[in-house]
Amino acid sequence: MKVELLDVFGDDNMICNVARVSYRKIAAMYTLEENEKLILFLAKNNHWSPFAHPKLQFRLEMPIYVERQIIKTVVGVDYNSVSGRYVDFSDGYTTIYAWRKQSTSSKQGSGEDLDETNNIIATIIQDDVVDNAKIAYQKLLDLGVSKEQARTILPLNLNTTMIWTGSLYALIRLCKQRLKSDAQKETRDVVQEMLRQVKETNLFTTSLTAYNL
Ligand SMILES: Cc1cc2nc3c(=O)[nH]c(=O)nc-3n(C[C@H](O)[C@H](O)[C@H](O)COP(=O)(O)OP(=O)(O)OC[C@H]3O[C@@H](n4cnc5c(N)ncnc54)[C@H](O)[C@@H]3O)c2cc1C
C-alpha cells in the first residue's frame, strides 16, 4: 500500500471565504477565532458545500479489493487507474501475513486473529496462488494472448495504482465511512494514511476538527 498526497488546493481560509460570500464578505475581514467559529458552525449544521471547494489529489497504490471499496465514494471525486490492457502490472501483490477469522457479530467483517499454525498455512496458500498466477499470466502472454484477456486470471490482491482527486468534503465522507470499525482493515489503513498526510499539511486543521477527524 502506498499513499502519496500530490497536490492540495485551498485551506480553512478558503472555506470561510466561500461561506462569507453570502454576505459579500471575505475571511480577511474577520479574526482567526471568528473564522474558526464559522467553520465549526458550518460543520455542525450540515452546511457542507463550502467544504466541497478545496481539492486534494493522491496517488494510491493498493490491492484491487481495496480499490473497489474506495471508488464507491462517487460524489465529488474523480478517478483514473492504471490499465491492465496497456501495461503488464502483474508483478505487484499485497500479501497478507496476519490473517483474521470471520467475525461472529458481522456477516461482512473479520474478528480475532487466526491461530499461529493456521496463519502459516493461510500464508502458504496465498503465496502459492500468487506464484501460480504470475507463471500462468506469463504463459498466456507467451502464447500470444492479449494483456486485456491474460489479466483476467489474476487474483484480487493484485496491486493497482490510481489518482484520486476529490473535494475535502468527499475525503471527509470517505473517512467517516471507512475509518469506522466495521470497515475492512486494509481499506481503513489506506484512508487513515490519506487523512494523516492531509493533517500533516496543517491546512485544514479547523475543518477536520469540526468533523471530529
Ligand atoms: C462498511 C461498509 C460496507 C459496505 N458494503 C457494501 C456492499 O456490500 N456492497 C456495495 O455495493 N456497497 C457497499 N458499501 C458501499 C456503500 O453502499 C456506499 O456506496 C459507499 O459507502 C459510498 O457512500 P455514499 O453513498 O455516501 O457516497 P457517494 O456515492 O459518493 O454519494 C454521496 C451522497 O450523494 C447522494 N447520492 C449519490 N448517488 C445518488 C443517486 N444516484 N441518487 C440519489 N442520491 C445520490 C447520497 O445522498 C449519497 O450519500 C459499503 C460501505 C461501507 C462503509
pLDDT band at 89 (very low <50, low <70, confident <90, very high): confident
Cα 88 to averaged position of ligand 1 atoms, centre (Å)? 31
Q: How far apart are CA 55 and CA 19, in angstroms?
A: 16
Indicate which atom in ligand 1 lies nearest the CA of residue 184: 1
Q: Return the residue whose CA atom lies nearest to atom 46 of ligand 1.
A: 75
Q: Looking at 151, 173, 178, 188, which residue is catalytic?
A: 178
- Asked if 178 is an active-site residue, the reply is yes
Nearest CA to ligand 1 atom 19: 72
Using the atom order of ligand 1, give the atom closest to the CA of residue 178: 53
Lowest mean pLDDT, pick from 15-29, 61-75, 91-105: 91-105
Q: What is the pLDDT of residue 108?
A: 79
The string of pLDDT tens digits covering residues 128-187 is: 999 999 999 999 999 999 999 999 999 999 999 999 999 999 999 999 999 999 999 999
DSSP string across 123-164: HHHHHHHHHHHHHHHHHHHHTT--HHHHGGGS-TTBEEEEEE
Question: Which of the 8 DSSP states describes residue 57?
Answer: E
**What mean pLDDT do residues 50-68 have?**
98
User: What are residue 136's phi and psi, to 5 degrees?
Assistant: -65, -40
107 band by pLDDT with thresholds 50, 70 and 90: confident
The class that CATH gives domain 2-83+166-210 is alpha beta
Residue 30, judged by CB atoms within 10 A of its CB (0-12, 13-18, 19+), counts as: middle
Assess contact for 62 and 212: CB atoms under 8 A: no
Residue-range domain boundaries for the chain: 2-83+166-210, 100-153
Residue 90 has pLDDT above 80, yes or no: no
Q: Give the pLDDT of residue 103.
A: 84
- Answer yes or no: is pLDDT of 207 > 90: yes
pLDDT digits (tens, 9 = 90+) for 23-45: 999 999 999 999 999 999 999 99
Which pTM value belongs to this model?
0.94
| pLDDT at residue 105 in the model | 83
- Going from the Cα of 174 to the center of ligand 1, the distance in angstroms, rounded, reads 10
- Note whether 98 and 112 are within 8 A (CB): no
CA distances from 145 to 100, 116, 152, 156 (A): 37, 41, 11, 20
State pLDDT tens for residues 109-126. Answer: 888 999 999 999 999 999
CA 74 to centroid of ligand 1, rounded, Å:
8
Model pLDDT, residue 70? 98
Query: For ligand 1, atom 38, which residue shows the shortest CA distance?
Result: 75
pLDDT band of 17, cuts 50, 70, 90: very high
Q: Among the atoms of ligand 1, which is closest to the Cα of residue 109?
A: 1
- In this structure, the residues whose C-beta lies within 6 A of any atom of ligand 1 are 72-75, 173, 177-178, 182-183
Residue 45's pLDDT is: 97
Q: Are 111 and 103 in contact (CB under 8 A)?
A: yes
pLDDT of 141 = 95
R_g of the chain computed on alpha carbons: 21
Closest ligand 1 atom to residue 173 Cα is 26
Residue 10, pLDDT > 90, answer yes
Grid coordinates belonging to 117: 499454525
Q: Please state, in angstroms and rounded to a whole number, the distance separating the CA atoms of residues 154 and 158.
A: 7
Output the CA 72–ligand 1 centroid distance in Å: 6
